[in-house]
Structure 1
Amino acid sequence: MRWQLGVLLSATAAAMFAERTGSDAAAVVSALLYALTIAIGLYSARRRARAHWQAHRAVAELLKSLAWQYMVHGGVLHSRVPNADAVFAERLEERLSELRKVGWEDPRNGPAGRGAGQITPTMRAVRAKTLEVRRDIYLRERLLEQHAWYRRKAALAHRSAARWSSVTASLTLLALLAAVLRAADVIGRWDLTGLFSASAAAAVAWQEVRRHRPLTYAHSLVEQDLETLRVEMTTTVTEDQWPAKVAEAERLVSPQHSDWLVRFGN
């Protein structure tokens, strides 16, 4: 998208130059750049790299979430479940079968790598520990790590939104200045208003594609919710309440929850 916008703006600039100077070379360059813009658009429409990346990311997050729930007795993998290994395997294969439909390619060979075969000795060792130990491990290694990650991402998105807002405002100001100078006949036949306006529109479009402001909103909200939940799980949650709170924490850090917040924040 960024390359397409850049080439399109370059084509517009070349076309404007060709019109004002009568340059055939500039006209040819402009035509080539417009053709390149179309080619980039067609190529982007046919690519499935992002879809594949999202599917593989979803698998990684699924495995991580189920592993944590298994280790600390969270969600449906609580202490009273009769066969945690079987429940883990069932939930994992159910979700993976859904992800295969959207492009995930299963790299596992043979039954050993499926279902309960994903449970490691470390996972079993953590699951065998007491609630106090499991709670300390989960809060330190999972919740605090995720809280720091969302805080960093919120700050990054905020800085990006501020930077691109400044770029948009500057380009709009330049468009206004160009319009005033042309009206005063200071720059002659050169009409730079269209070029600066198109550049400002491209900057706005880039912000919409990258979703900087919605991401700032979503990541900040998840960060706040995780901190609230961490305090609650540290101080007041009982052993009976623990599985539901772990499930709630895993829901908060899931990509699906963040994506929903981004759409809501739009």
Structure 2
Amino acid sequence: METLAEDEFPALFRAADRSAVAGQRRLLATTGLRLTCLVIAATFGAFSLDIAKIDTAAVLAAAALAAALVTEVYLLTAMPDRQWSEARAAAESAKSLTWRYVVGGTPFGRREHDEQSADLLLLRRFTAIARELHNFAPIPLSDGDAQLTSAMRQLRASSLEERKRHYMSGRVDDQRAWYRAKATANERRASRWSVALAALEALGLVTAVLNGAQVLNLDLPGIVGAIGAAGIAWMQTRQHRQLATTYSVAALELGDIISRAEWPSTEEEWARFVEEAEDVISREHAAWWKAHS
């Protein structure tokens, strides 16, 4: 095998990863729906539309506000943001422990632990992670899911050179490429949102001047302001700028790690090298948690 496949990772990681994806989707969907409803309410609240002696625009504005209220209640009670952040933290912690275990990194060094003691330590660490969970249940995907898979044990039993190759290609190189791609994507999105919001502010200024000159008889500045506020709230939810910086720093630090990959020649040196690499990745996860908590 070239590296560990997703179905060869522990049950805790797979369950937490699935829950994190679901939590993120629910958070973004409900947040987007809430902001859209608020913009719709502001739009229909800016004018009257009488149909059969009923102000239809006011009715639609009220309906949009009611929908926004329902989604707000959902966000406050279901807390998909907490599920997302907690599940992602659990998944990444389990993934880091898995890689440390399979390649013999600290605290699972091959010289310090035999097979049984390393297995026991890993299982205890997984149990500690599971006991700290409050916002989701890490239910295994199937009855056959295990915390220790045969592929994990097989890789741990391989030679130092084989483990080094697997770790560098399957963990460090892969993670650095992911960071680099995400940093680029988030920086691009942050720039686009900044330009769009600046254009909205300019449009709001123009409409305000036209309203002041009584060229327009519609509350366009209020509508534009509502759209701008929704855009700002969406940017705060996605944290594009902060994530771009965090991912860029992590990619650079992993580049330093990669340049020293050939230095470790003993099990002890390799264990410390893996610990240093995982610490770099863990710092990125800690920064991500802070940005989303």
Q: CA deviation at 1:172?
A: 0.5
Letter in 2 for 1:105: A
In structure 1, runs of 5+ residues without a counterpart are: none
Residue 82 of structure 1 pairs with residue 109 of structure 2: no
Q: What's the counterpart of residue 163 of structure 1?
A: 192
Q: What's the counterpart of residue 176 of structure 2?
A: 147
The answer as to whether partners of 1:66 and 1:88 remain within 8 angstroms in 2 is no
Letter in 1 for 2:36: G
Q: CA deviation at 1:13?
A: 0.9
Task: Note the alpha carbon deviations across 1:210-257, whole angstroms, 9 max, x for none.
Answer: 1010010111111111111111123x3342322122012223224x63
Q: CA deviation at 1:163?
A: 1.8
Residue 124 of structure 1 pairs with residue 153 of structure 2: yes
Q: 1:193 to 1:53 in 2, by over 3 A?
A: closer
Q: CA deviation at 1:204?
A: 1.1
Q: 1:264 to 1:13 in 2, by over 3 A?
A: closer
The answer as to whether partners of 1:150 and 1:220 remain within 8 angstroms in 2 is yes
Q: Which moved more, 1:50-59 or 1:158-167?
A: 50-59
The answer as to whether partners of 1:70 and 1:84 remain within 8 angstroms in 2 is no
Q: What's the counterpart of residue 58 of structure 2?
A: 27
Larger Rg: 1
The answer as to whether partners of 2:186 and 2:241 remain within 8 angstroms in 1 is yes
| Higher RCO structure, 1 or 2 (CA under 8 Å, sep 6+) | 2
Q: Which has more helix, going by share of residues?
A: 1
Q: 1:238 to 1:60 in 2, by over 3 A?
A: same
Q: How far apart, in 2, do the equivalents of 1:92 and 1:231 lie?
A: 32
Q: How far apart, in 1, do the equivalents of 2:147 and 2:279 lie?
A: 21
Q: What's the counterpart of residue 39 of structure 2?
A: 9
Q: CA deviation at 1:6?
A: 0.9
* Mapping of residues 1-266 of structure 1, within 5 Å: 1-18=31-48, 24-100=55-131, 101-107=133-139, 118-187=147-216, 189-234=217-262, 236-239=263-266, 240-254=268-282, 257-260=284-287, 263=290
The answer as to whether partners of 2:38 and 2:64 remain within 8 angstroms in 1 is yes
TM-score (norm 2): 0.77
Q: How far apart, in 1, do the equivalents of 2:199 and 2:184 lie?
A: 23
The answer as to whether partners of 2:105 and 2:272 remain within 8 angstroms in 1 is yes
Task: Note the alpha carbon deviations across 1:110-135, whole angstroms, 9 max, x for none.
Answer: xx97xxx6333333332233322221
In structure 2, runs of 5+ residues without a counterpart are: 1-30
The answer as to whether partners of 1:226 and 1:249 remain within 8 angstroms in 2 is yes
Q: CA deviation at 1:81?
A: 1.3
Q: CA RMSD in A?
A: 3.0
Q: How many pairs are equivalent?
A: 258
Q: How far apart, in 2, do the equivalents of 1:25 and 1:244 lie?
A: 68
Q: How far apart, in 1, do the equivalents of 2:240 and 2:231 lie?
A: 12
Letter in 2 for 1:258: H
Q: CA deviation at 1:23?
A: 6.6
Q: Which moved more, 1:88-97 or 1:160-169?
A: 88-97
Letter in 2 for 1:221: V
Letter in 1 for 2:228: A
